[in-house]
Structure 1
Amino acid sequence: MAIPLTQNSIEDSVVTMRRLIEARLSDVVPSGQTWPARLHEAQRHALLSPGKRFRPLLCVFIAQGGGAETGALLDAAISTGCVAEMVHAASLILDDLPCMDDAELRRNQPTTHIAFDESTAILSATALLNRAFGVLSRLDAVTPEARVEMIDLLSYAVGSKGLIAGQMADLANTDQSASIAEIERLNTLKTGALFDFSVESAAILSGMHASQRAALKDFSYHLGLAFQLLDDVKDSVMSDDEAEKSVGRDIGKATILAVAGSEASKAKLNDYLASAKAALKRAELSNLDTLTAILDHQFAFLRA
């Protein structure tokens, strides 16, 4: 019989896993003293800046809930979660550039192009993306077939039908007459693609069956929509200090908040989150309590 988890034991397990993730992130990129030092300092500036590590935590705990509880497969899940964080960091570097959102603050520190320069920022983002594929290719505990599937997933998540497509669409996102469905499609590309990679890779690592993978795909879809809408709401009501990043970058863009208004947006956000939790429950993972606690912590702003 499974021992019921207490809130303290859940928090302890999350804190412990976050420490393992932080240590792995520090290991997967060269030290700041490695030549060319400025490039590697910039990579570490972006990658190791204080963050919630939401994507890696999701990847690891979903893999655990599917059966990759200990040993080499759990270690592979940690590395895979770090791959998601590397791609996320690279995307933030590019998103903050003057030719994109022109932001000066990210995670309560200067953005990479401000702390270094634009050329170094672009090269460090490119280096992080390339290194991410290298980490996946060296997951020795994972079958070659699974590695190829995960590498393909990542290429899709990052590529012209994923993150990059989302960023292109976001740069042209000024049509205030856009429908909610059109905005959701953009948000799915911009934010959901990397959640898809994190969640689907965890399912691959733990050998989940088709019905579990289908439920997790639904979970990832609604989570991406909820996460982006939460970010839009925060952008409209928080200061730079509260958000720990430059805010006000969505002014003039067609967001759900701009189109539907504050109250309707918060209701939709709660609907997205409820749908995500319902899908997660259908996946029948062994650690639903832990994953629910991680979600609740990430969306605590809704209860403020």
Structure 2
Amino acid sequence: MTATANQTAQPEYMITDIRARVNTRLTDLSIGSDFAPRLNAAIAHSLLAPGKRFRPLLCILLTAEFDGDIDAAMDAGCAAEMVHTASLILDDLPCMDDADLRRGIATTHLQFDESTAILAAVALLNRAYGVIARTDQISAQSRVKLTELLSRAVGSHGLIAGQVADLENINTAADAAHVEQVNALKTGALFDYSILAAANICDLDEDQTNHCQEFSSQIGLAFQLLDDLKDQLMTEVQAGKTIDRDIGKATLLALDGHVGAKTRLRGYLRSADEALTALGVAQNSLIRATIAAQFKMPDTG
């Protein structure tokens, strides 16, 4: 990869190009055993479905800002995408959100069956750790750190804890601080991994890493709130997924209303941008263009 984060010519084209490279790498990394063609098909169905690859992009572009190893960032970002996809497969199951549509196509358990979907999710989780283990562009110590970061993001301090809290979310009187904590777990944790993986690959110092953590926290909260807004304001075709799964739950949208939620979203994005500035990221950087594209609300009519 030759693109750097400070290049400003045709940013949309450059983002599309990097996303295409992520998709190619995901394809290369996800090829499984010939003995399990149905499992391979389920993995490809979910992992290679059209997506914005926001987490890998953040990892790659932040690494590029500090002249880190882009190949290492690519694989670290692909590991995040594998975990993210696994979490979507599980989240869509009948015992969870019971969704029919994801990324504009049938959910994995409907396209195949529940047992294949579960096994595809487990295979993706397992493969993510294998990808990190084979990232030989960085030191063994860095690979151990990335493994630790991913383990925390996935486990009882991250996605799994957040999913449990979300399933138990029946207290519509919960305050905003509680909802933010749930959002930080179920969504923010994997952003933490993606951003801190870049910090580790670039060997950033403690102060820089703290700015990365603040950026990650704010962008994760913003991402979840945007998702909640889309769930309420968009059709299934516009959103590309099953909607109205948060009715009856305590969400920031339910607490703040549409106007208040959009104000809160702008606050998260402002704080994330301030963290990037403190980190020394240029105003015309590609990472900022990527964030702007990700958080542009489509016309909902």
Q: TM-score range by the shorter chain?
A: over 0.9
- Which of 195, 210, 216 is residue 206 of structure 2 equivalent to? 210
1:289 matched to 2:290? The reply is no
The change in CA–CA distance for 1:5 and 1:132 in structure 2 (over 3 A counts) is closer
User: CA-to-partner distance for each residue in 1:216-274, whole Å, 9 max, x for gaps?
Assistant: 10000011111001000110111110100000001111001112211111100110111
- Which of 65, 88, 101 is residue 97 of structure 2 equivalent to? 101
Q: What SS does the corresponding residue of 2:297 show, helix, strand or coil?
A: helix
| Corresponding position of 1:271 | 267
Structure 1, unpaired ranges of 5+:
none
Query: How many residue pairs were aligned?
Result: 297
Q: Which amino acid aligns with 2:100?
A: E
The Cα of 1:212 is off from its aligned counterpart by 1.2
Distance (whole Å) between structure 2 residues aligned to residue 257 and residue 191 of structure 1: 16
Distance (whole Å) between structure 2 residues aligned to residue 56 and residue 166 of structure 1: 21
Question: Aligned-residue CA RMSD in angstroms?
Answer: 1.8
Q: Is the 8 A contact 1:191 1:224 kept in 2?
A: yes
TM-score, reference length from structure 2: 0.95
Distance (whole Å) between structure 2 residues aligned to residue 116 and residue 3 of structure 1: 40
- Which of 179, 183, 186 is residue 187 of structure 1 equivalent to? 183
Alignment of 1:134-153 (within 5 A): 134-153=130-149
Q: Is the 8 A contact 1:65 1:288 kept in 2?
A: no
| Corresponding position of 2:31 | 30
Q: Is the 8 A contact 1:63 1:74 kept in 2?
A: yes
Distance (whole Å) between structure 2 residues aligned to residue 245 and residue 12 of structure 1: 26
Distance (whole Å) between structure 2 residues aligned to residue 216 and residue 288 of structure 1: 18
| Corresponding position of 1:65 | 65
Distance (whole Å) between structure 1 residues aligned to residue 81 and residue 41 of structure 2: 17
Distance (whole Å) between structure 1 residues aligned to residue 78 and residue 27 of structure 2: 10
1:227 matched to 2:228? The reply is no
Runs (4+) of structure 1 moved beyond 2 Å? 2-7, 10-13, 285-288
| Corresponding position of 2:41 | 41
Identity %: 48
User: CA-to-partner distance for each residue in 1:40-63, whole Å, 9 max, x for gaps?
Assistant: 110111100000010000000001
1:197 matched to 2:193? The reply is yes
Alignment of 1:169-184 (within 5 A): 169-184=165-180
The change in CA–CA distance for 1:263 and 1:7 in structure 2 (over 3 A counts) is farther
Distance (whole Å) between structure 2 residues aligned to residue 303 and residue 251 of structure 1: 22
User: CA-to-partner distance for each residue in 1:75-95, whole Å, 9 max, x for gaps?
Assistant: 111011100000000000000
Q: Which amino acid aligns with 1:35?
A: F
| Corresponding position of 2:115 | 119
Distance (whole Å) between structure 2 residues aligned to residue 3 and residue 28 of structure 1: 25
The Cα of 1:281 is off from its aligned counterpart by 1.3
The Cα of 1:287 is off from its aligned counterpart by 7.8
| Corresponding position of 2:234 | 238
Q: Is the 8 A contact 2:212 2:279 kept in 1?
A: yes
TM-score, reference length from structure 1: 0.94
Distance (whole Å) between structure 2 residues aligned to residue 227 and residue 4 of structure 1: 24
The Cα of 1:284 is off from its aligned counterpart by 1.1
Q: Which amino acid aligns with 2:182?
A: L
1:51 matched to 2:17? The reply is no
Distance (whole Å) between structure 1 residues aligned to residue 25 and residue 6 of structure 2: 29
Q: What SS does the corresponding residue of 1:261 show, helix, strand or coil?
A: helix
Moved more, 12-21 or 136-145: 12-21
User: CA-to-partner distance for each residue in 1:156-205, whole Å, 9 max, x for gaps?
Assistant: 00001100000000001010110100000000001000000000000110
The change in CA–CA distance for 1:242 and 1:22 in structure 2 (over 3 A counts) is same
Q: Is the 8 A contact 2:6 2:286 kept in 1?
A: no
Distance (whole Å) between structure 2 residues aligned to residue 210 and residue 303 of structure 1: 41
| Corresponding position of 1:247 | 243
Moved more, 11-20 or 262-271: 11-20
Distance (whole Å) between structure 2 residues aligned to residue 64 and residue 4 of structure 1: 8
| Corresponding position of 1:163 | 159
1:77 matched to 2:48? The reply is no
The Cα of 1:11 is off from its aligned counterpart by 2.5
Q: Which amino acid aligns with 2:103?
A: R
Q: Is the 8 A contact 1:66 1:207 kept in 2?
A: no
Q: Which amino acid aligns with 1:91?
A: S
